[in-house]
Structure 1
Amino acid sequence: MSISPDWVLEALEERRKQALFRHTVIMEGAQVPSIEIDKNAYLAFCSNDYLGLSNHPNMVKAMHESALTYGVGSGASHLVNGHNREHQSLEEELADWLGYDRVMLFSTGYMANLGVIAAFAGKDNAVVQDKLNHASLIDGAQLAGAKMRRYLHSDLMSAQKILSGFTKDQTKSTILATDGIFSMDGDRAPLAGLASLCKQNSALLLVDDAHGLACCGKTGRGSMEIEGVTPDEVPLLVGTFGKAFGTAGAFVACSHDFADYLTQFSRPYIYTTAMSPAIVGATRASLNIIKSDEGLMLRQKLAANIAYFRQAVSALPIELCESETAIQPILVGDSELALSLSESLKTSGIWCTAIRPPTVPKGGARLRITFSAQHSFDQISHLVNSLTLALATRT
């Protein structure tokens, strides 16, 4: 075995000293609220499977049937011969559901954001971003070599000030990129206000609604539905299947012209093997559930779980983020304290991962509690009781 360079070992040791060292854990079985890790049973409150669809029997059956017909691997990129009837059908069904001309599938949400921003941005224009945007949006702008500025979180005045300074002497439109629901705080972006700013400044609004689609809004159309904005106001919508859809992969919804443009210039789309057709088949089944009465009931149950939790913890000495979504973070601040609380919860059979910098800003360590429609009120009560005990042992 080769000996690692000193600078690698020093960097790892520094992460350990800062209580920021990460490692992988192995979970047994399917993604459900009751899980097993290291032969111990836990209730999980950190999954992004917001509707509890990842183990839905309809989707398991659809994946099996799709694999029997189309195989497991797509075998090539979309532009060679990896784009089959399953891919095309899912794109058309998503476009119809969301009200866009076209949808393009990507292998991951990270790649979708890289692919869109790197295609539409460059040295001839700028990318304006919310301070708390997902890392993939930031990385996309850096990959494109674009001028990038970040406005204060959800602050329209800050966004306007930066936008107005970038609209002159550009040969391409400024991109304003934002999460629809912010993954670490759980709050929603002011999409109506941002859409108005983009219209005033001839900018293109890109919304990554990974944590909103399928689980937010009466019909599940996410942040855009809640905020009352249209596809004309959000010309670039990114969504992922790895959260509330319960599968894996991602998509971009846009106009015909923008889809043609991405087909020519989005390198992650052009040079990556297409999604597994078996996963696509399962995702089509997921979309059918999301659009059905069952999907509506799941969203209602998720909303009830969120309200139940917020009421139950209202008397606890914690700082809970202002969030109406499945993401309910408890702000802790210190990374070591966040780790300690997470470990205390494990002793009560609760699995809730501590989130630390650089995923969140320095001093912003937290317990990122997330809910599923599959959680019961009894399970949430156990979480709250466990939190009460963990907090008591810290004082």
Structure 2
Amino acid sequence: MMEAVREQLAQELEQIREAGLYKVERELSSPQSAHVTTQGAEALNFCANNYLGLADHPDVRAAAREALDRWGFGMASVRFICGTQTQHRELERAIADFVGTEDAILFPSCFDANGGIFEVLFGPEDAIVSDELNHASIIDGVRLSKARRFRYRNRDMADLRAQLEDAREGGARRTVIVTDGVFSMDGYYAPLAEICDLADEYGALVMVDDSHATGFVGEHGRGTHEHCGVLDTTAETHNRVDILTGTFGKALGGGSGGYVAARQEVVDLLKQRARPYLFSNAVAPSIVAGSLKALEIARESAEQREALRRNTGLFRDLMAEAGFDLLEGSHAIVPVMFPGEDGARQATQIADAMLEHGVYVIAFSYPVVPRGKARIRVQLSAAHSEEDVRRCVDAFVAGRSAVAG
């Protein structure tokens, strides 16, 4: 039987290769940084979520190293048995204070956080109204819930209103609007002020996955809700977003671990019933310590946030001058578009050519993005220098010429 299955799988893989959609993992032989070593050569890294440059920050590494001696290597248990250390609660309180909620709960990843929340809070009598471009973890989490599901067009407030009307007419006990804070393939911000206004009008909750924002978006880096003006830091826990999820695997050190930050009752109920929390080992001690240090740095990182904004603006300006097709925006995610039937193959070829010029980027195509909308997603970092940014643009130009020729 297995031989027949192997042949079927091999055929499926060959179809992926023929379509130009096969994804190859490039191994790094260096720490994650703005400059990495891959395939035996140094390259500028423009495809990591290392927005503040903290993944290899010496203070973060030192905190993690010290934690190995003080707290050990692993917890070997789930949280409610014997897997909670003092520093786990310290990190939960710190992230809750940073994003403006009453408390937070740690998960092994934000994928687990999003996977565990919906089944606990929303049942058959409830309604989940979700943006069509939400992250896969939200989509999977919603599927685990027995709640009624509504989907609205990406950032379309008229369609959101229509879905809220349908949920209301269906007699939903609880309704929640769910959105990414930043849509990771496009770099677009969710219009949280308008979403919160509609939530107030329809008596709905608002949940935001802020993985691509926490630590660097907003005046103080608190996230999309600060950027959009729905977080009032002058009032005690006055946050118009009811539930925030996020990760420590991107701007906040780049390790692993996710969280749900919310009202105390939400956090307490998740601790009782969220399956990824109840049946997964606690986040490793060194990751907790490193994330605590990264969060401490992020709170005081105005200089890094300004460097990130400066690098992003420079890259956008230079790429536009060079005639590349960019999605509009201001986020450090900058998609360089290659539309059409041959776009996926073209994006992959240009990315490969750029690596030969010492710049590491990744092409994205279906099913990660819609058919005909292939792109190279460039991600800027505060750790990049102006020279790094200019070299990246030069590599795009060279790669385009190589593919065209």
Shared fold, TM over 0.5: yes
Letter of the 1:383 counterpart: C
Say what the alpha-carbon RMSD is for the aligned residues: 1.6
Aligned residue type for 1:139: D
Paired residue secondary structure (2:169): coil
Give 1:115 deviation, angstroms. Answer: 0.9
Aligned counterparts of 1:244 and 1:291: Cα–Cα separation in 2: 12
In the alignment, which residue of structure 1 is the partner of 2:224? Answer: 223
What amino acid maps onto 1:316 in structure 2? A
Q: Distance in 2 between matches of 1:279 and 1:143?
A: 28
The TM-score normalised by the length of structure 1 is 0.96
1:289 is aligned to 2:297: yes
Q: CA deviation at 1:26?
A: 1.1
2:235 maps to none
Alignment of 1:299-314 (within 5 A): 299-314=305-320
Q: Which residue of 2 aligns with 1:241?
A: 248
Aligned residues between the structures:
393
Structure 1 equivalent of residue 288 of structure 2: 280
Alignment-derived partner of residue 320 in structure 1: 326
Identify the residue that residue 147 of structure 2 maps to in structure 1: 146
Residue in 2 that maps onto 1:256? 264
With structure 2 as the length reference, what TM-score do the two structures score? 0.93
- For 2:357, the equivalent position in structure 1 comes to 348
Contact conserved, 2:77 with 2:83, CA < 8 A, in 1?
yes
**Shift in Å, 1:171:** 5.2
Task: Quote the residue 2:387 is aligned against.
Answer: 378
> Map of 1:90-169 to 2, 5 A cutoff?
90-169=91-170
Residues 75 and 96 of structure 1, relative CA distance in 2, 3 Å threshold: same
Q: Which runs of 5+ in 1 are unaligned?
A: none
C-alpha contact 2:186 2:334 (8 A) present in aligned 1: yes
Residues 8-157 of structure 1 correspond to what in structure 2 (within 5 A)?
A: 8-157=9-158
The CA deviation string for residues 322-346 of structure 1, in whole angstroms up to 9 with x for no partner, is 1211100101122111111111211
- C-alpha displacement of 1:91: 0.9
Matched, 1:331 2:340: no
Q: 1:393 aligns with which of 369, 380, 402?
A: 402
2:100–2:239 contact (8 Å) kept in structure 1: no
Higher mean C-alpha displacement, 314-323 vs 140-149: 140-149
- Counterpart amino acid of residue 65 in structure 2: H
Query: How far 1:262 moved relative to its partner?
Result: 1.2
Question: CA separation in 1, counterparts of 2:50 and 2:85?
Answer: 27
State whether residues 127 and 172 of structure 2, in contact with CA within 8 Å, keep that contact through their aligned partners in structure 1.
no
In structure 1, give the amino acid aligned to 2:41. Answer: N
* Counterparts of 2:369 and 2:73, CA distance in 1: 36
Amino acid at match of 2:25: T
Secondary structure of residue in 1 paired with 2:80: coil
Q: Read off the aligned partner of 2:250 and give its amino acid letter.
A: K
Question: Deviations for 1:250-306, whole angstroms, at most 9, x for unmatched residues?
Answer: 1110011111221222111111111001110111111111112xx111101001101
Q: In structure 2, do the counterparts of structure 1 residues 170 and 77 end up closer, same or farther at CA, with 3 Å as the change threshold?
A: farther
Q: Which amino acid aligns with 1:253?
A: A
Counterpart CA distance in 2 for 1:384 and 1:207 is 33
Q: CA deviation at 1:29?
A: 1.2
Instruction: Give the secondary-structure state (helix, strand or coil) at the position aligned to 2:161.
Output: helix
Give the stretch that moved more between structures: 13-22 or 81-90.
13-22
Distance 2:4 2:293 in 1: 47
Contact 1:121 1:141 in 2 (8 A): no
Q: CA deviation at 1:4?
A: 5.7
Partners of 1:91 and 1:297 in 2: how far apart? 25
- Alignment match, 1:269: 277
Partners of 1:278 and 1:172 in 2: CA distance: 42
- 2:269 and 2:327 map into 1 onto residues whose CA distance is 39
